[in-house]
Structure 1
């Protein structure tokens, strides 16, 4: 079955898509409302990047995929990412989920880990409480369109006082440039729970393919005393435009950790933001990216402090080569009443080509007096003194530069909690640097 979707999607197409999936009335209404909003809202307007000039209409059409009997049926290049001893695993291929598993132990503890479409059918009341509550569907044209056409996705719920010791993993991949690829990830960690989630967004294409837009929206809800570690690596072909919005809402004494590897080969809009709503809430965000070719990238990391004694740490490191362009924004917003809040951010860009461009923009917006905040930003080339020192030890210039770049990115790479994914990230870094 296939349902053609255009941009902006119309009411009839959104309703037909929802009815074809047998979704509940509340979700059908939400999709229809999203379709109607696309007619009046504008695309996001990131600083110095005109994404409205990109081919954002290439959302493809919904195609129901065939399910897999086991993870062994995955393409070999993807099987290497799955690691061993998985407690939970969800796979989305193009427009829908094709595989899911969760250990009996975690099921007995009340953990839910499945694709979002299944969660809507089996846990509808729970999903409805949170879906599009962190990223409102009327925020902009992107969120509205996504609310109308999202597919597959991931739903993770961890009950109160449950600690999931082994990382849960999702694999989101496209191998059909004509199929809609719009996963929505929804994570809810209840009071005093703890969980680590890791996903990969990838593509498998052979030969020339038409353009495609990935729409990926992530919503994370961290309840009082809970701790969520969210790691993601994006590495798709240059014909794919990556539009990824990640948002966390953190309550009293909760903690969110973001580990983001934006290693996509095409144009990228990536926004990762924590809303520190509760007192004593904390956020730690680490982002790395490598720009190559003629890529255009907008990378934004942000924290909004609402609760008292809240703390945010942000580190972004990017390497720019060829004629790539990156606008890197760090935004710390401390609201009135967020006393004793602390926000620190660092943006560093390493330039490998005179034609490349990397802008690092630290931004502090402070509406409260009794707070601390700081920022640091730098844009520069590989330090020639470091290269000279390594060459004096018998290392070639090329290898010396490679070692320095790897050391520059290591603080984020080392944080990836699954060995297979960490190794994949290292290989991706090598590939992009040598291309």
Structure 2
């Protein structure tokens, strides 16, 4: 067991970090504030998972990285994740962004797509306005520390009435477990705009590295009438503790779609929430995960309804094998005044080993009368009747079970909007299932 004895950052180290990066004064002050807050706040306390026993302070040190001139310079395994001729692509290696690209057509329309550190210098008015609006610095020790040490990341801004037809992509990868790896993503979709964003978060070690706590925070602002589709796939080695917080604020008639694949081999804290602030706002979240070996996973998906006639739908599917454990929380909260709101959630867990454990916890918190809300949850093993049916058609037992598992996960896998990423996800599922 690891006991967290102290905060791994302080005002002096964050001020020094900001100075070496040449950051504007306002950002340096926010980093210092985050370090101060971290001294007094506590770690998150997710349901039934003691993350304070994890090695949360193994953050590494900030290291500069050499920029690359093209995607062709990436290792082949990573280059395959970019798909064909992306409209925009940002790459972060360890502690810093090393590549950024955006098509001239989108630049001409006023789209901004770059790393967050560059955006803080070149688009300070926008970054200052929206940074920390969806995930506050003082939420807990994790959010405070991340606000002090974040690096690289992505800033995506889509002007009003602009529709981005092709997905914009990012790749965050760690190949040095001694380097801080803490990307932050800020997406702002202005009125009546539309965009799809996809990122991969991966490791590329020759051998498994030393323990490293990877923190990432995502903030999405969906303005009135806008639509944001956000897909993310995490597949990191077992030395990584993956701590990910994602939040979206959705205004009148806005729509947010989350597609989350948590396939990291180490411990995972994944928390994805939508705040439906506006009337007629909509959130759709789909998440899958596979746990193996002795992994511990805390997987939370939530929607908080403030707006009238707002709608949310959440689907989480997890497969647990070996002695892996997962606590899966679906939380729908309908605030007073959110009349005609409708919230639906489904959590399903498939256990492949008698030692594995999956807890599905659907939670409805309703403070308004004139609403609809529903939930469904199930935890079980592969259905023997389904296996028998497939075997009666000449399919082996092993292949029958594999088909059933893939069918179980298909509703999320099929939603990945880039074929190369979808194929990569399929390969990852096979790897984790086969062990």
Give TM class, smaller chain: over 0.9
1:251 is aligned to 251
1:185 is aligned to 185
CA distance in 2, matches of 1:373, 1:89: 39
Contiguous gaps of at least 5 residues in structure 1: 1-5
Q: Write out per-residue CA displacement over residues 200-246 of structure 1, whole angstroms, 9 at most, x where no aligned residue.
A: 00001122421001100000000000000000000000000000000
Q: Give the secondary structure class of the aligned counterpart of 1:80.
A: helix
CA distance in 2, matches of 1:82, 1:140: 34
Which 4+ stretches in 1 moved above 6 angstroms?
A: none
1:3 is aligned to none
Q: TM-score, normalised by structure 2?
A: 0.98
- State yes or no: 1:74 paired with 2:81: no
Q: Give the secondary structure class of the aligned counterpart of 1:328.
A: strand
1:290 is aligned to 290
Q: Give the secondary structure class of the aligned counterpart of 2:380.
A: strand
- Whether the aligned pair in 2 keeps the contact of 1:362 and 1:377 (CA below 8 Å) is yes
May I ask how many residue pairs the two structures share in their alignment? 430
- Taking structure 1 as reference, are residues 208 and 89 closer, same or farther at Cα in structure 2, changes over 3 Å only? closer
2:334 is aligned to 334
CA distance in 2, matches of 1:209, 1:83: 28
- Taking structure 1 as reference, are residues 14 and 161 closer, same or farther at Cα in structure 2, changes over 3 Å only? same
RMSD: 0.6
1:236 is aligned to 236
Contiguous gaps of at least 5 residues in structure 2: 1-5
Q: TM-score, normalised by structure 1?
A: 0.98
- State yes or no: 1:424 paired with 2:424: yes
2:172 is aligned to 172
Q: Give the secondary structure class of the aligned counterpart of 1:374.
A: strand
2:96 is aligned to 96
1:315 is aligned to 315
CA distance in 2, matches of 1:374, 1:7: 41
Q: Write out per-residue CA displacement over residues 32-72 of structure 1, whole angstroms, 9 at most, x where no aligned residue.
A: 00001111000000000000000001000000100001110
1:306 is aligned to 306
1:395 is aligned to 395
CA distance in 1, matches of 2:410, 2:389: 20
CA distance in 2, matches of 1:80, 1:69: 17
1:131 is aligned to 131
CA distance in 2, matches of 1:364, 1:285: 16
CA distance in 2, matches of 1:17, 1:26: 14
1:363 is aligned to 363
CA distance in 1, matches of 2:43, 2:68: 36
Q: Give the secondary structure class of the aligned counterpart of 1:142.
A: helix
2:43 is aligned to 43
2:24 is aligned to 24
1:62 is aligned to 62
Shift of 1:118: 0.5
- Whether the aligned pair in 2 keeps the contact of 1:197 and 1:230 (CA below 8 Å) is yes
1:13 is aligned to 13
Q: Give the secondary structure class of the aligned counterpart of 2:62.
A: strand
1:382 is aligned to 382
Shift of 1:7: 3.5
Q: Give the secondary structure class of the aligned counterpart of 2:81.
A: coil
1:412 is aligned to 412
Shift of 1:254: 0.0
2:218 is aligned to 218
